């Protein structure tokens, strides 16, 4: 059995992770840690888990004393809070999967500029692997530190990767227009995500300045082999879960719809969690699953390609992807604990 500890277990990403780990047949949870709910049971915080998840939430220092008992540590804390914990866990030979952004950007300078924080252990950045299995599966297998990607970047990079690998679009023409459900903002108190502030309304936010921009740029640049700068505009929409990313790029040369479909099918042939759809995806089709649905479309009239991707931000955008990474790290089937969970409607 893989022995796991979770820090930040009572946040939205953390609780989804706990639920997945409880169902995972190869995993034993050794501890759950929380900041505000210590000495309460997990089901005191999330009553829907009453009878099923009764573990006590312990504080972070008590959790640190248990690091020697675990094989893998999941961290689901706000940015800037993972540095010391990660160092302690790695020093004890524990593998770390960080759901936050502290190890995603390879450039310390970029991290400090975009996050407005000093990086607490930039010496670990070279060793951390960006945990997008569809691109880095082989590197993940060899690593002890996985930087689980952000939700918007997961949806955007998976949508654009085949186009960039084949150099089909002008890299300076990329526009990503993405929408997220409110759980993407976490459970912490925030006026913007109060019901009356976001229900029956849609808004763009952090236009031209969202911290996922450098993360997406880093990864699409790696695929293309040159620095790429793009426009990324996130929107908040009144639903609980889900991200829909509509990505645009100018085609360098004409290509048929059939050829493009084939390029995408080939690129994702071995990736169980990416589904090529015949129609434009909807967030409800991936809700509660670790899937990323994609549909690609050539707009011949304007010489542009449009790719739409849909994920569940708490699953493929966070906890599901973290489980997928754990499965790869421990050499077990990538789909374990992530079997089909979607419900209709
Ligand atoms: N929500 C999403 O869709 C996604 C989130 N992520 C990332 O996952 C991480 C967690 O996000 P999310 O679950 O949404 O956020 P939440 O606000 O819902 O949860 C944050 C967690 O961190 C704990 N925490 C907050 N402040 C501190 C602190 N000062 N010291 C120690 N612990 C603290 C909270 O504890 P307590 O509950 O006890 O207060 C809670 O467990 C973030 O880095 C986020 O960027 C990544 C992809 C998607
Ligand atoms: C709707 C909403 O507010 N979403 C969050 C993204 C959350 C996330 O996944 O990003 P990190 O893991 O990088 O924090 C935001 O825009 O900040």
Q: How far is the CA of 281 from the centre of ligand 1 (A)?
A: 28
14 lines ligand 1 (CB under 6 A): yes
Selecting from 3.30.70.1380, 3.20.20.150, 3.40.250.10, 3.30.360.10, what CATH number does the domain 151-313 have? 3.30.360.10
Output the CA–CA distances (angstroms, integers) from residue 340 to 6, 21, 286, 289, 319, in the order listed.
Answer: 24, 15, 10, 6, 15
Q: How far, in Å, from the CA of 321 to the mean position of ligand 2?
A: 15
Ligand 1 in contact with 75 (CB < 6 A)?
no
Q: Is the pLDDT of residue 127 over 90?
A: yes
pLDDT digits (tens, 9 = 90+) for 262-277: 999 999 999 999 999 9
Positions of CATH 3.30.360.10 in the chain:
151-313
Ligand whose nearest atom lies closest to the CA of 74? 1
Tens of pLDDT, residues 52-64: 999 999 999 999 9
Domain span(s) for CATH 3.40.50.720 in the chain: 2-127
2-127 maps to CATH 3.60.15.10: no
CA–centroid distance, 206 to ligand 2, in Å, is: 11
**Each residue of 21-73: pLDDT tens digit?**
999 999 999 999 999 999 999 999 999 999 999 999 999 999 999 999 999 99
Task: Report CA(57)–ligand 1 centroid distance (Å).
Answer: 15
Give residue 342's pLDDT band: very low, low, confident or very high (50, 70, 90).
low
Tell me the C-alpha distance between 76 and 10, whole Å.
9
DSSP state of 148: P
Which residue out of 6, 8, 183, 320 has the highest number of ligand 1 atoms within 8 Å of its CB and is therefore the one to mutate?
A: 8
Ligand 1 within 6 A of 183 CB?
yes
Active centre residues (catalytic): 151
| Interval 142-163: pLDDT, tens | 999 999 999 999 999 999 999 9
Answer yes or no: is pLDDT of 14 > 80.
yes
Asked if 201 contacts 238 with a C-beta cutoff of 8 angstroms, the reply is yes
pLDDT in tens, 93-121: 999 999 999 999 999 999 999 999 999 99
**pTM recorded for the entire structure:** 0.97
Substitution site in 212, 213, 312 for ligand 2 pocket (most atoms within 8 Å of beta carbon) = 212
């Amino acid at each position: 059995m893989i022995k796991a500890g979770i820090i930040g277990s009572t946040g939205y990403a953390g609780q989804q992770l706990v639920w997945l780990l409880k169902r995972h047949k190869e995993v034993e949870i050794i501890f759950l840690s929380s900041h505000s709910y210590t000495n309460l049971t997990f089901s005191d915080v999330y009553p829907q888990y009453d009878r099923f998840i009764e573990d006590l939430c312990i504080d972070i220092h008590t959790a640190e004393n248990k690091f020697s008992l675990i094989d893998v540590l999941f961290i689901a804390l706000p940015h800037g809070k993972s540095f010391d914990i990660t160092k302690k866990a790695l020093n004890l030979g524990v593998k770390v999967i960080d759901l936050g952004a502290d190890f995603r950007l390879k450039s310390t300078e970029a991290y400090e500029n975009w996050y407005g924080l000093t990086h607490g252990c930039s010496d670990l950045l070279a060793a951390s692997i960006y945990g997008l299995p569809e691109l880095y599966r082989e590197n993940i297998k060899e690593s002890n530190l996985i930087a689980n990607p952000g939700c918007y970047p997961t949806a955007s990079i998976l949508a654009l990767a085949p186009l960039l690998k084949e150099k089909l679009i002008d890299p300076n023409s990329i526009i990503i227009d993405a929408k997220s459900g409110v759980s993407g903002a976490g459970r912490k108190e925030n006026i913007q995500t109060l019901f009356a502030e976001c229900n029956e309304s849609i808004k763009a936010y952090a236009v031209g300045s969202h911290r996922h921009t450098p993360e997406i740029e880093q990864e699409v640049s790696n695929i293309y082999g040159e620095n790429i700068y793009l426009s990324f505009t996130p929107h908040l929409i009144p639903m609980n879960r889900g991200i829909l990313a509509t990505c645009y790029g100018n085609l360098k040369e004409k290509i048929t719809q059939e050829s493009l479909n084939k390029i995408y099918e080939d690129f994702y042939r071995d990736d169980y969690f990416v589904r090529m759809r015949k129609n434009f995806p909807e967030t409800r089709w991936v809700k509660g699953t670790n899937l990323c649905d994609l549909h690609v479309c050539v707009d011949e009239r304007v010489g542009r390609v449009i790719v739409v991707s849909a994920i569940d931000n708490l699953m493929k955008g966070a906890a599901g992807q973290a489980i997928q990474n754990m499965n790869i790290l421990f050499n077990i089937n990538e789909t374990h604990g992530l079997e089909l969970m979607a419900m209709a409607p």
